[in-house]
Amino acid sequence: SKTPNWIYWFAFPEWAYKPESSPGSRQIQLWHFILELLRKQEYNDVIAWQGDYGEFVIKDPDEVARLWGARKCKPQMNYDKLSRALRYYYNKRILHKTKGKRFTYKFNFNKLVLVNYPFIDMGSGRGVPQSAPPVPTGGTHFRFPPSTPSEVLSSSEELRSPGVFSTVARRMARGSVSDCSDGTSTNSELEEAAAAADERAIGPDRAFRGLLAPRLPHESLFRPAPRVHPDPLSPFPVSPLPGPGGLLSPALSMTPTPHLAYTPSPSLSSPMMGSHFSFNPEDMKHYLQAHTQSVYNYHLSPRAFLHYPNIIVPQPHRPTLEKPAPHHLQPPPMPLPLGQQPTDDAHASPFKFKLQPPPLGRKQREAGSSLAAASSSNHASSFTGAGPNAGSAAGGAPPKIKVEPVSDLSEEDVEVTDISEEDELNPNSEDEEGDMFPLLPHSPPVSPGGTRCIPLKLRFKRRWSEDQRMEADGDRDEAEDKKVRGEGEDQEDGKREGEETSSELQRATAQLSLENASC
DNA sequence: GGCGGAATCA
DNA sequence: TGATTCCGCC
């Protein structure tokens, strides 16, 4: 069958494979190992990419277990145990099960897509950088974003510098090797350094880690920005090159700690466009269209919609619409963010604003006592409106989001707290009071206006909960929320369309050898 | 097969 | 913290 298009570009950046990039562990982690196997052709009969983006099937569970056991020096390892470990990833959003398919799992790439926080956790030192972009592994030519769902994800790659592209490809080809005993890389360090040199040679491009970050001031998208800031926060020799890829960071949302290292927009200049691509509106249109498509395809938060001035993004093809097509698809002439759910009109705001959850008491009063009963602990969970026009969004109900002008005008971005329409579907959701998605990590925990401040931690937790829901194919609450609320409702199987099997992943990915030294 | 709790380990 | 081990349940 036809090779999924994403295969030709999907991969993790080199550092993602490096055990030392595993959060909180010096030992190789299972997901790491899985990736390792996945990109090595010799294991194609054991485990391989298959079907949807990020989906893989364990063809030989026993063998995978054996390999894993060998790597971890756990001779008693078996698939039952290994799968238990995999299941623990569900809650971490690293993986989820492809229901109805045996031994088939899927990396939660969509969650990893922290569009609003493309650089999250970079350099936190505690987790895998979440802006890890997919790294192209095949082809080195620029092409426009595709229009079919199966191709859209490549859009994130489109704007990447060819130079980096090839550089990364080379790195991929070289690969890294991990030894069994401790999971630390052996020869990859030097290669990494070399690769870093390569990329430096390209120029300041290493700074395009912010290239198309939605929060990137749109102006800088169209004029080369002179300022280049090496990422002081990155623990890696080379910035993982988020760029547009940051929108599609693979498996790296693993560490739900998106609060630490947001890179302020001003530093997100993208010199690459001057040197490598012409970012004319048409290109951007293509890109945005593709991105928008991917947002849909992967049920991303509407935050994922990119808005750029004067560019109208065509409606993506979406056969089955469960919800009315949001108007996000028609980006306003404002560099404004990313609204939330269909009722959100935040983008229409002519001014910068951010949304904050309302003060507790008052909100509850407005919501009514009956409602309050159902959502006593998540007062703001059913926010539907955002922005100045959102007042009517809730269908007569008073807007549940407090909109306030952003006082910090130096901030080019707009802060929009995300909201959860899901909670309306699930009144039982008993999230903590932190309903809103996190604001920019660098924003002060207490809003200027004395707005009730939800601890960042909670905000993020809320966001992750949201992400979790969105990622579930059925938009069902899952792992974490379930865990949090102690609920155990059934989940519907996600429908998987456009399944494409690939036996050619390896053709596109680097040829690497996996060394499983004995223990 | 798949799930997830519980205890445990490093 | 990230498994590993065991296990009952569906």
The confidence score (pLDDT) of residue A149 equals: 29
The confidence score (pLDDT) of residue A63 equals: 95
B6 C1' to A79 CA distance, Å: 19
The confidence score (pLDDT) of residue A52 equals: 85
pLDDT at A59 over 70: yes
C6 C1' to A29 CA distance, Å: 21
Per-residue pLDDT, averaged over A160-169, amounts to: 30
Contacts of A251 (CB under 8 A, 6+ apart): A12, A16, A31, A35, A54, A94, A107, A108, A109, A112, A128, A132
* Cβ atoms of residues A158 and A247 within 8 Å: no
Which range of A71-75, A264-268, A360-364 scores highest in mean pLDDT? It is A71-75
Residue whose CA is minimally distant from B10 C1': A27
Each residue's pLDDT tens digit, A486-496: 333 333 333 33
* Cβ atoms of residues A404 and A447 within 8 Å: yes
pLDDT at A67 over 90: yes
pLDDT at A58 over 70: yes
Does residue A479 lie within 7 Å of nucleic acid chain B, judged by its CB? yes
Strand B contacts in A 406-445 (CB under 7 A): none
Q: Is the dihedral of CA A466, A469, A470, A476 positive or negative?
A: negative
Q: Higher model confidence: residue A90 or residue A270? A: A90
B2 C1' to A285 CA distance, Å: 43
Does residue A84 lie within 7 Å of nucleic acid chain B, judged by its CB? yes
Residue whose CA is minimally distant from C4 C1': A81
C4 C1' to A442 CA distance, Å: 38
Q: Identify any residues that bridge with A96 across adjacent strands, giving them in sequence order.
A: A106
Pick the CATH number of A17-116 from 1.10.10.10, 3.40.190.10, 1.20.140.10, 2.30.30.90: 1.10.10.10
Listed as ranges, the nucleotides of chain B within 7 A of a protein C-beta are 1-6
Does residue A85 lie within 7 Å of nucleic acid chain C, judged by its CB? yes
Contacts of A172 (CB under 8 A, 6+ apart): A11, A14, A39, A135, A137, A509, A510
User: What does the alpha-carbon distance between residue A194 and residue A278 come to, in Å, rounded to a whole number?
Assistant: 28
User: What does the alpha-carbon distance between residue A256 and residue A264 come to, in Å, rounded to a whole number?
Assistant: 20
User: What does the alpha-carbon distance between residue A495 and residue A33 come to, in Å, rounded to a whole number?
Assistant: 27
The confidence score (pLDDT) of residue A108 equals: 82
Residue extents of the structural domains in chain A? 17-116
Confidence of residue A30 (pLDDT cuts 50, 70, 90): very high
Each residue's pLDDT tens digit, A191-250: 333 333 333 333 323 322 322 222 323 322 223 333 323 332 222 222 222 333 332 333
* Cβ atoms of residues A15 and A32 within 8 Å: no
Furthest-apart CA atoms within chain A: distance in Å:
67
The confidence score (pLDDT) of residue A89 equals: 95
* Cβ atoms of residues A65 and A78 within 8 Å: yes
B9 C1' to A79 CA distance, Å: 19
Of A13-27, A47-61, A107-121, A477-491, the poorest mean pLDDT is in: A477-491
What 3 state SS string does A446-477 have? CCCCCCCCCCHHHHHHHHHHHHHHHHCCCCCC
Does residue A83 lie within 7 Å of nucleic acid chain B, judged by its CB? yes
Each residue's pLDDT tens digit, A112-144: 543 323 333 322 222 232 222 233 232 222 222
pLDDT at A57 over 80: yes
Does residue A176 lie within 7 Å of nucleic acid chain B, judged by its CB? no
Per-residue pLDDT, averaged over A484-510, amounts to: 36
Contacts of A492 (CB under 8 A, 6+ apart): A473, A474, A476
Contacts of A15 (CB under 8 A, 6+ apart): A21, A129, A132, A192, A236, A238, A240
Per-residue pLDDT, averaged over A325-333, amounts to: 29
B6 C1' to A85 CA distance, Å: 14
Per-residue pLDDT, averaged over A399-411, amounts to: 32
| Residue located via tokens 């926080």 | A117
C2 C1' to A28 CA distance, Å: 10
